[in-house]
A and B are shown apart, each in its own frame.
Chain A
């Protein structure tokens, strides 16, 4: 399988604290790669480094073989890395459609073309409608995003990622705070996106992770203690003592 995003020994220090320590993972097309670990294990910091929100202290990140370690966040996004945040990050005062259209316009920004109305942009309208259909939000397209349920807002955030046509999705706890029905819908969405995307999933819902993940990486105190398929992670003694043991 093709490796899209390759992370080679990245480390991030905040002063004396090593938040992410020498982590290497590969994200492949057609795979959901889950990263699990207790709070403070460095999962969000890892996503922030991959999306370009913060820089890496050392190590190398490549997308399609191109070094993007020093690239700014918006350029990585344009190169195909979409992300969602642990805290829902949408435009609450715009409609659902406007949220997706604006995200899609990153591909055709043309800021100088002030005589063209934003809502007339055919390419971004098409991308927005496509993303809303994929995320199952087309019937609420005209709703103000801030009035959606928590679960629908999380779905909208994923739809906004899709509207930018990414190949790599970095999802930070997309299931947090969701009810059973909403969780099922999100898992179905992720399963449908798998074939055409490389997905990194940070998630605390272990049942969901073991159901959907093709590969799991376990982090403790910023370092990776195990990587493998769900079955091998489940029986890994280190993982059991360090992490799963507390819950199961």
Chain B
């Protein structure tokens, strides 16, 4: 019974959010939308880091490219979700194909460095050229829409983002139990054995990398549709670092870990920068956030999702 309940927990959470949605105030609702978008972003990185064992430090590039594609693709009269969404995911996937094709020839710390370098390259293209309004970024005139699916409408936005999160989570859950997911897990554990068994390991990794890029592009599309503005900071390396921290904080190797990590990270950031809670320390939230994360990682080596197991082991 408990196991069944545990299995359906993510779905129950989604239903609870859908039911509670209209009852939430604008601040909480907005915060939840932000966390859900970050959860999609974190899930897309979990596909690489947790499922395939590829530690990328340039994942924000695909997020940012998805967001920029959405804004640049919608004209003065706004654009349709029907083609802005494929555009955002397609652009992110295309860049992921280029970055992956080159970076996947390296491994370990070199892979980290090469993905970082490609992300910085994309960052400087938007930062230092007029393509996307330079360092100030660029505004969207009208948010994307498709019939009733109008992102200008706050509650439509809420349900659209929730739907995208459920779809992403569901897709990755299916992949995890499929032969593709089993092969990715095999690559994570022992790449040499996978090659000796006859798997085209490079192709599998590239497939995972492109899919992860496309999903990050989806998160970017949603972010641009929510904020109505993009700037180069989206692609910056600290954004790549933050999403990596989220999945580590939540617990690598679990889809829910990525979501929990996104929630925990955003809440921590929000709490530690609230004057009313931490007083003058709020101005130095980066310092306190850093210390909090060091404490978390030291005390919870398996992330927040590993707490239950840790307690059970102690009992």
Q: Which residues of A contact B (CB under 8 A)?
A: 51, 53, 72-75, 77-78, 82-83, 85, 89-94, 98, 101-103, 105-119, 121, 160-161, 163-164
Contact = CB atoms under 8 A, between A and B. Distances in A.
Nearest to B192: A89
A164 B198 contact: yes
Given A102-B186, A106-B199, 15 more contacts: A72-B200, A77-B195, A78-B198, A89-B190, A94-B185, A103-B193, A103-B197, A106-B194, A111-B204, A111-B207, A114-B174, A116-B178, A118-B179, A160-B193, A163-B197
A105 B185 CA distance: 13
29 contacts: A53-B195, A75-B198, A82-B196, A83-B196, A85-B196, A89-B190, A90-B193, A91-B189, A91-B190, A94-B189, A101-B182, A102-B182, A102-B186, A102-B197, A106-B194, A107-B198, A109-B199, A111-B179, A111-B183, A112-B180, A113-B178, A114-B174, A114-B181, A115-B178, A118-B179, A121-B179, A160-B197, A163-B197, A164-B197
A112 B175 CA distance: 9
Interface of B: 171, 174-175, 177-183, 185-186, 189-190, 192-201, 204, 207
Q: Do most interface residues of chain A lie in helix, strand or loop, or is the interface mixed?
A: loop
B180 A114 contact: yes
Contact of B199 (A74, A93, A121): A74
Give the most central of B180, B186, B193, B196: most A CB within 10 Å.
B196
A169 B69 CA distance: 52
B197 A118 contact: no
A118 B177 contact: yes
Contacts, number: 91
Contacts of A83: 196
A113 B197 contact: no
B177 A93 contact: no
A90 B199 contact: no
Contacts of A107: 198
A92 B185 CA distance: 12
A89 B193 contact: yes
Given A105-B183, A160-B197, A115 B207 contact: no
Contacts of B194: 102, 106
A229 to B, nearest CB: 30
Contacts of A93: 189
A182 B183 CA distance: 30
B254 to A, nearest CB: 14
Contacts of A103: 193, 197
Contacts of B196: 51, 73, 77, 82-83, 85, 89, 161
A164 B189 CA distance: 19
B198 A115 contact: no
Nearest to B186: A102
Nearest to A105: B179
A117 B189 CA distance: 19
Contacts of A106: 194, 197-199
Contacts of B183: 102, 105, 109, 111
A103 B198 CA distance: 8
B195 to A, nearest CB: 5
Given A94-B189, A111-B204, A118 B195 contact: no
A16 to B, nearest CB: 26
Contacts of B197: 77, 102-103, 106, 160, 163-164
A107 B179 CA distance: 11
